[in-house]
Structure 1
Amino acid sequence: MIVNEQTTGNNKKMTSYLAPLVQQIPPSGIRKFFDLVGDNKDIITLGVGEPDFVTPWHMREACVYSLERGMTSYTSNAGMPKLREAISEYLDTQFDTKYDPKDEIIVTVGGSEAIDLALRALIVPGDEILIPEPSYVAYSPIASIGGGIPVGVETYAKDQFKLTAEALEAGITPKSKVVILCYPSNPTGAIMTYEEWLPIAEVIKKHDLIVIADEIYAELTYTQKHVSFASIPDMKERTILVSGFSKAFAMTGWRIGYMCGHPELIAAMLKIHQYTVMCAPAMGQVAALEALTNGLGEKDRMVESYNQRRRLIVQGFREIGLDCHEPQGAFYAFPSIQKTGLSSDLFAERLLTENKVAAVPGNVFGPQGEGFLRCSYATSVTQLNEALERIGNFVYKLQKEG
């Protein structure tokens, strides 16, 4: 029987076999937009959240050497013991969060798997998942797939997109169970200080909520050191800390992340991990261990380079006439394009087609992102300068049209 993409032999559409929930989930707004870019070499891309650095050589070499030695088997489900020990020491010394490598850490297939594991282990259908917006595009779909109900919590440019206790409190109902915190923030670059976390912690304790703290950008802060939510008093036991090697160590394609938390929560998530992926790739774990053992210097140099570009792009947007709060973490600027009168979608589409710059419309990160544009500055200074010139020309053209 010949089956095409649309129907089976009895003219039944193949999509009818799919779960309705999956059919309702839209594709990633970021990937959908950048499919338009294709292989066009004339386009400058400020969109995908990926370092422009190559993984440092000694980390790649550690992987190659492990392959030459035949290290191609499964590791422990939770990850190589030496890597878990290194993660434990790293988090303790860098972010004042101490976890037992034996039963409080799992090495995952990127931070994305860790978030999925946490939500699948926690959600009972109908539970509400509180997500400060603008937010990373994957949180709401993953929560929905698990039967949860994502609930956006508003943050604002006037507050530098920081979460407030008042906004969090306003979003809580008797069905609220989990809060997802992503600071430093994708897409806004916002961070939270110790003092700003304290009232958030009080609300979470008051309503007996569980926290998934996505701290994948923890190392990428510029004006002050990252404060892990798990380090706030009384928050470690109710926090699942998620991080990884993709952003800080330029290891996106290696897909090595980790999650840390209370032993009982970690044990439950390990069961799901065992039955879905077994373990993270052994050679990637070897490279990650090398990163923590000998790669902190390269990490610091990359962060300093991002800081230079951060200052450049913020100043550039302001000179163009676009309001742009100063991102203090991650590697994204989130300028307002409201003065142009265009929607985020239309601005991004016209900027791409007319001036050959690709950036992400802010509304893909939730309703609070409408009127903004996410621009990654994880690209060369030369590219950033050219992109700013093109954006400036585009904005000037819009002003003349108006």
Structure 2
Amino acid sequence: PWHIREAAIYSLEQGRTHYTSNLGLPELRAAICRYVQKHFGVAYDHRSEVIITVGVSEAIDLVLRAVINPGDEVLYHEPCYVSYAPSVVMAHGVAVAVPTRAEENFRLTAEALKEKITDRSKVLMLNFPCNPTGATQTREELEKIARLCIEHDLIVLTDEIYSELTYDGAEHVSIASLPGMRERTVFLHGFSKAFAMTGFRIGYACAPAPLTDAMMKIHQYAILCANTMAQDAAIEALEHGMKDVEAMRREYEHRRNYIVRAFNDLGLECFQPLGAFYVFPKIASSGLSSREFSLSLLEKKKVACVPGTAFGPSGEGFLRCCYATSLDQIKEAVVRIGEFLAEVKK
């Protein structure tokens, strides 16, 4: 939105090109704490429990390097964002996938999680609403997962970057807000999705002071601080950007309704996700693997989608399609996919 870009421009014009505190601007950290308490029901101290990072990706790396020792197991649901397993490996941990199923709308169940917990389990990574599936979690299931985390003394990383983008009146619940979870949870969020600020690269982590301090020790040497002008723009987003967020959310919901209906009409089974801006249609009926389908679609019809296997082996037979583009573009893509399917079936 223009007023956010204008805040960055004004910041530059005012000569705000200096370093900030390693933790980030105090004004931004205070604004984040107000926002998180209002929208997620969790209170943090901006002086010691918030760190501003270069996107959520840096925050994930910081947390993993701060809390795991070589050989510790990190649990995560799959299909999942592409960086999770590699980030664990680079921190000398062991990545343990918990597959989710299309029949359950790709929700993580406590039952499936329990089967993967061992004596080496240290961390659970969550991402709901989820990239790539658009899946969300119910409060009831999160409460079951929280009890498991307490029972097995797991640290939780909850990446809630898509939390503002939920549909059909779905309730978003942060696991950090549940009883007994704040003290063992690192809440990750940022500005790329809801505020359309991908290139600004501003994320943040909220956590108990000892965890935040451990992350800061890595951040201060690896990064020093996030971009000052981008931090000023983030303050503007939090204080005056919610009308823009709601307008985008309604538009995304409209596009989601169209693309889900279109895929099902084409014979590609597609559940209706309640969050994010992705759909995850099943393409197994084409007779092609996810990789074959996506590469051939790109080469023959110039439509770019991501094979489900990019998000883990359990993504085989699926395709991630993003609807963060114009409805006209989506309609044209659907036409071309229909033509592609007709050619494949000949």
Shorter-chain TM band: over 0.9
Partner of 2:35: 90
Query: How many angstroms does 1:225 deviate by?
Result: 2.9
Partner of 1:327: 273
Partner of 1:386: 332
Q: Distance in 2 between matches of 1:395 and 1:373?
A: 14
Instruction: Work out which of the residue numbers 238, 247, 252 in structure 2 matches 1:301.
Output: 247
Deviations for 1:123-166, whole angstroms, at most 9, x for unmatched residues?
Answer: 10001111100010001111001100101101000000000011
Letter paired with 1:172: I
Instruction: Work out which of the residue numbers 75, 78, 88 in structure 1 matches 2:23.
Output: 78
Deviations for 1:58-105, whole angstroms, at most 9, x for unmatched residues?
Answer: 111111111111111011111111111110001111111211111110
Q: Does 1:282 find its partner at 2:228?
A: yes
Partner of 2:13: 68
Gaps of 5+ in 1: 1-55
Q: Distance in 2 between matches of 1:163 and 1:203?
A: 13
SS of the aligned residue for 2:125 comes to strand
Q: Distance in 1 between matches of 2:12 and 2:344?
A: 55
Partner of 2:186: 240
Q: Distance in 2 between matches of 1:324 and 1:229?
A: 27
Query: How many angstroms does 1:226 deviate by?
Result: 1.4
SS of the aligned residue for 2:183 comes to coil
Q: Does 1:141 find its partner at 2:78?
A: no
For the Cα contact (< 8 Å) 1:245–1:252, is it kept in 2? yes
Q: Distance in 1 between matches of 2:272 and 2:179?
A: 29
Letter paired with 1:257: G
1:148-167 equivalent positions in 2, closer than 5 A: 148-167=93-112
Count of aligned pairs: 345
Query: How many angstroms does 1:236 deviate by?
Result: 0.9
Q: Name the TM-score, length of structure 1 as normaliser.
A: 0.85
Q: Does 1:118 find its partner at 2:63?
A: yes
Partner of 1:222: 167
Query: How many angstroms does 1:398 deviate by?
Result: 1.7
Query: How many angstroms does 1:297 deviate by?
Result: 0.5
Q: Distance in 1 between matches of 2:140 and 2:171?
A: 13
Q: Distance in 2 between matches of 1:303 and 1:74?
A: 34
Q: Distance in 2 between matches of 1:290 and 1:210?
A: 32
Query: How many angstroms does 1:229 deviate by?
Result: 1.2
Letter paired with 2:306: V
Instruction: Work out which of the residue numbers 135, 139, 142 in structure 2 matches 1:190.
Output: 135
Q: Distance in 1 between matches of 2:27 and 2:243?
A: 20
Query: How many angstroms does 1:354 deviate by?
Result: 1.3
Q: Does 1:203 find its partner at 2:148?
A: yes
Deviations for 1:318-338, whole angstroms, at most 9, x for unmatched residues?
Answer: 000000011110000000001
Partner of 1:130: 75
Letter paired with 2:86: P
Query: How many angstroms does 1:189 deviate by?
Result: 0.2
For the Cα contact (< 8 Å) 1:217–1:329, is it kept in 2? yes
Letter paired with 1:196: E
Q: Distance in 2 between matches of 1:197 and 1:212?
A: 13
For the Cα contact (< 8 Å) 1:194–1:232, is it kept in 2? no
Aligned Cα root-mean-square deviation (Å) = 0.7
SS of the aligned residue for 1:167 comes to helix
Q: Does 1:108 find its partner at 2:60?
A: no
1:336-375 equivalent positions in 2, closer than 5 A: 336-375=282-321
Gaps of 5+ in 2: none
Partner of 2:199: 253
